[in-house]
Structure 1
Amino acid sequence: MHTRTHANLRNFARGHKSSAEYLDVAANAHGAEKGLLVKQALKRLRRARHHVVEVGPGGGSAVTYLAAQLTDDPALSRDTHLTLIEAPGVVSQSLTNAVEKFNHVGTCEVRNGFAQDVASLLSDPVDVISASALLHEVYSYGGGYAGLHSMMRTLPSVLNPGGFFAYRDVYAVHGSSLHQRVIHSYNSRAWLTFLRMFTPHYLGAGTHPYHHADDELVARQDSRIVSVSDLDPATCAVIAAPIGLFREIQRHYITLRDHVWRSGVLGFTPVLDGMDGDLATDWIDFRAGHKRIHYRLGEETEWLSGPQRIMLAAMSEPYAGHHTIDGDIFDSVTDVALLAFLDAAEAGDTTCSQVWESWLLREGLESYAYLTLDQLLTAFTVHSAEADTDTVLMPVRTGDIHRVDRHYYNRFLTQRLANPLLDAKQLVLFQNIPRSDVDALRQSFDTVSDRCAKASLARVYTAINKGDNWTP
């Protein structure tokens, strides 16, 4: 999932991205979700032998899932070779374990390299390429939109005709453009402090698309325009900015909160997704995003005061050597500690500053929501059609496009923000369709026509035709 350019070598936080905490914990969740599209692709290929490539396997959760599916599902061929492409020097024990499991049902190898070098890393075209969170890292570290479009033009050449590219990343927003200007309000001290600390860094140092004249962030407090770096956390702020920028701020806040929680600096360590099996998904009401939080108390710190610590424990129940508590109550109690952490980090406290800087280095330059679904589908069609393969990458069936809502985060955001934006994962299964396969192209056009604007459909139509007489 890692890219290489001169900017990448300077900015990509390889050490933090490859730490055991990140790969074995934070990046080793949702294996079934990551492997879902690969399973669908293998069933549709129905070949005696398959070659599957995963770019950026992280902690190997998708590898473990696919190994289990090959064992249990008779519709899948067990003669599958899996190639994992990971950046040089990035290793994890959980991935090593996953490779061992896969080798019991197929064959698996790890190749070191970068995402944009995938063509040189593969000697022959393959059947399926899978990637999770690849494109936002290509965008952030591999040349912005030019890097994205280059990747889209490369993929058809490394896929067999009829092969698949399984894509999973953060859902952007519902709308035609991330540059749509909206007004959001903030009255939480923690969010206002985060806005003041993070936003100037992201806009100044990150790779992002918000450079247009109409993309300026304008913040007002007490009806006066103020710099975002001078926001008063005690005063409600009304901010006008592109909706995509609000999506970035919201998503980064969540990753910071989870990072601080995992660090243990607040005096407690909750079990988050991917860390401890069922403890991370102890739902009270799944669709409402309401769950029990399992956590362990650590040493007393000034960020969680004695009274707060006593109150947290009093509202919890003992469970197998740790504590469990209603998630809503946990969020309310620990918000105070998170605000104290942010204030201390901003003031230069050594411990809190180190935790803040480690998160900022790993996450602070990345742009997650770079394309809406309309823009994503259109870009893949248009740029893949420019490859010298006489194929085009498009989803064929309606079921090739999924959105998996993050109910827990959406519940948290709804309770904290006046204008929460949907948090979800977006999954798209693109097929490398030969332009001679008129039936598949017609079905693909019908599939994207419900999700793309007319102007986008015109670009898709033109890219597919290339001046020929095929009609949908």
Structure 2
Amino acid sequence: MRAFDLAEDRGMLNFAREHKSEAGYLDVAANAHGAEKGLLVHRALGRVEAARPHVVEIGPGGGAAVDHLAAQLAAEPHQDRGVRLTLIEAPGVVSRSLAEAVERFNRVGECVLRHGFAQDLADLLVEPVEVISASALLHEVYSYGGGYPGLHAMMRTLPAVLTPGGFFCYRDVFGVEAPSLHERVIQSYNSRSWLAFLRMFTPQYLSEGRHPYHHAEDELVARQNSRIVPVSELDPATCAVITAPVGLFREIQRHYLTFRDQVWRSGALGFTPVLDGELAADWIDFRAGHKRVHYRLTDKVSRLPEQRQIMLAAMSEPYGDHHTIDSDIFDLLTDVALIAFLGAAEAGDAECARVWESWLLREGRETYAYLTLDHLLTAFAVHSAEAGTDTLLLPAQDGDIARVDRHYYNRFLGKRLANPLPDAKHLVLFRNIPREDTASLRRAFDVVRDHCGKPSLARIYAAINRGDNGTP
């Protein structure tokens, strides 16, 4: 999602527009998982009755979902519905791969690209539409658009720009399996690269990022050798035991993965793994997250010690113009390079510091796990009820809530952390259900019952029955 552009003159600080919209990011890193991004849209189109349904995608990135939807429509026996697709991207953001995806979609439907801000959605659409799709929209709204108030305002806007019975398709990072993001847990870290990352990233995130961990009971307490130490002074050579909210650990874990991948893409370690396309999915065992990594050597100085470089070469096989290696071995060897990279960045090495700062600007202030699934479903129901449309946003039937595990990342995390949190994406298909459709509301309540606690169910019930902000 790159449509939520946030300029300082709109009172929205710290959004790295230049880094978020650079071609290398949109055309490569933000142009994956098209089938996953487009799954709910295709499913929603099968449930709307409009002759020429209108779909809006907010923040199309590199166009992966556009391509997937075009392929799905082309494969259908009847293409007489004339699907209209409007893409909303931030002003000034241009992607070559997106432009090509728009051309391909126009062979099976009608696709237009408009530039504007996601928070101005009601002004950008001249009439309500049948389907709206977004990936990672809400965590950027939360991080850059006013925290929870901005998040809730977006939830109140959506029912007004959807037709009654329309759908909002949402995909984002999975939160945590806990009643609350503020539940305190204990984690231990003995990996040098993770400890170095904790020391560099966590103080910056807590001081500059928009996050909800401000209460006294949210304090992060780190211990090494049984002594409390500031997280900024962690010794990467000593195991650390840290107590903090589970949501904060979720942030640290997710940010480490995005940091590692960006350093890999940069080539600063002396090699560049292939992280996108068919070669990135060369699975040995998909369910176990075990695969072959394809990589190329760069002309930059390797961050691996000479002995490790020899081992990397010995463990690899030639594959065309590059090499391939078992992912477990590759992860183990390249951890050493990451340790050297972080040390160099901290010491002021120009190239390493540039890559670190670039990642920090793009990703380092964002909060991914702003809501558990329980709280997400409840917030949508309660705040959509306040929109004045006489509709509510709720998943309406079984299968409208799905979780897609990231098997490779989970395998990697399981080998590095004592108690890793599961890495996954959540997919939720919300229907804009009219209040008068009591049968659909009853089914929707049954759907969310399996995912929400009793207090949340009470708030949803109150919202359905016109309670004030979910309070009976």
Tell me which interval the TM-score lies in, with the shorter structure as reference length.
over 0.9
Count of residues in correspondence between the two structures = 465
The answer to whether the aligner puts 1:198 opposite 2:201 as a matched pair is: yes
Any conservation in 1 of the 2:5–2:17 contact (CA below 8 Å)? no
2:155 to 123, 131, 152: 152
Displacement after TM superposition at 1:267 (Å)? 0.7
Is residue 2 from structure 1 mapped to residue 11 from structure 2 by the alignment?
no
1:373 matched residue in structure 2: 373
Please point out which of 69, 79, 86 is paired with 1:83: 86
1:263 lines up with 2:266 in the alignment: yes
Q: Quick one: percent identity of the two aligned structures?
A: 72
Three-state SS of the structure 1 residue aligned to 2:47 is helix
Say if 1:75 and 1:227 are closer, same or farther in 2 by CA, change over 3 A. farther
Closer, same or farther: CA 193–45 of 1 in aligned 2, 3 Å: same
CA distance in 2, matches of 1:454, 1:98: 44
Normalised by the length of structure 2, the TM-score is 0.97
| Alpha-carbon distance, 1:77 to partner | 5.2
TM, length-normalised to structure 1: 0.97
Residue 184, structure 1, aligned to residue 191, structure 2: no
Shift of 1:467: 5.6
Q: Which runs of 4+ in 1 moved over 6 A?
A: none
- Cα gap change, 1:333 to 1:34, in 2 (>3 Å): same
The structure-2 alpha-carbon separation of the partners of 1:75 and 1:380, relative to structure 1 and needing over 3 Å to count, comes to farther
**Distance (whole Å) between structure 2 residues aligned to residue 259 and residue 396 of structure 1:** 38
Asked if the contact 1:156–1:389 (Cα under 8 Å) also holds between the matched residues in 2, the reply is: yes
SS at match of 1:265: coil
1:343 aligns with 2:339: no
Q: Which structure 1 segments of 5+ residues have no match? A: none
User: Is the CA contact 1:56–1:85 (under 8 Å) kept in the aligned structure 2?
Assistant: yes
Change (3 A) 1:17 1:339: same
Structure 2, unmatched stretches of 5+, are: none
> Residue in 2 aligned with 1:415?
415
Per-residue CA deviations over 1:439-470 (Å, capped at 9, x if unaligned) read: 100000000011100000000000000169xx
- Compared with structure 1, are the counterparts of its residues 9 and 458 closer, same or farther at alpha carbon in structure 2 (3 Å cutoff)? closer
Residue 281 of structure 1 corresponds to 281
Measure, in 1, the Cα distance between the counterparts of 2:161 and 2:80. Answer: 21
SS in 1 for 2:148: helix
SS at match of 2:307: helix
* SS of match in other structure, 2:399: helix
Contact conserved, 1:46 with 1:76, CA < 8 A, in 2?
A: no
Tell me the amino acid that sits aligned with residue 136 of structure 1.
H
CA distance in 2, matches of 1:45, 1:300: 53
- In structure 2, what is the Cα distance between the partners aligned to 1:467 and 1:50? 33
Tell me how far 1:78 sits from its aligned partner: 4.2
1:147 Cα offset (Å): 0.4
CA contact (8 A) 2:12 2:145 kept: no
Deviations 1:37-65 (A, max 9, x none): 00000001133111000000000000000
C-alpha contact (below 8 Å) 1:194/1:253 kept by paired residues: yes
Query: Which digits, 9 at most, give the CA deviation of each residue in 1:95-120, with x for residues without a partner?
Result: 00000000111111111111111000
Q: Say whether 1:405 aligns with 2:408.
A: no
User: Hey, what does 2:57 align to over in structure 1?
Assistant: 54
| Alpha-carbon contact 1:260-1:266 (below 8 Å) kept | yes
Distance 2:399 2:429 in 1: 9
Post-superposition offset of 1:212:
1.1
Counterpart of 1:61, as a letter, is: A
Partner of 2:436: helix, strand, or coil?
coil
Preserved CA contact (<8 Å) 1:129 1:164:
yes
1:361 and 1:55 mapped to 2: Cα distance? 22
Query: Over residues 235-260 of structure 1, what are the superposed CA-to-partner deviations in whole Å (9 max), with x where a residue is unaligned?
Result: 11000000000000000000000000
Q: Supply the RMSD in Å over aligned alpha carbons.
A: 1.3
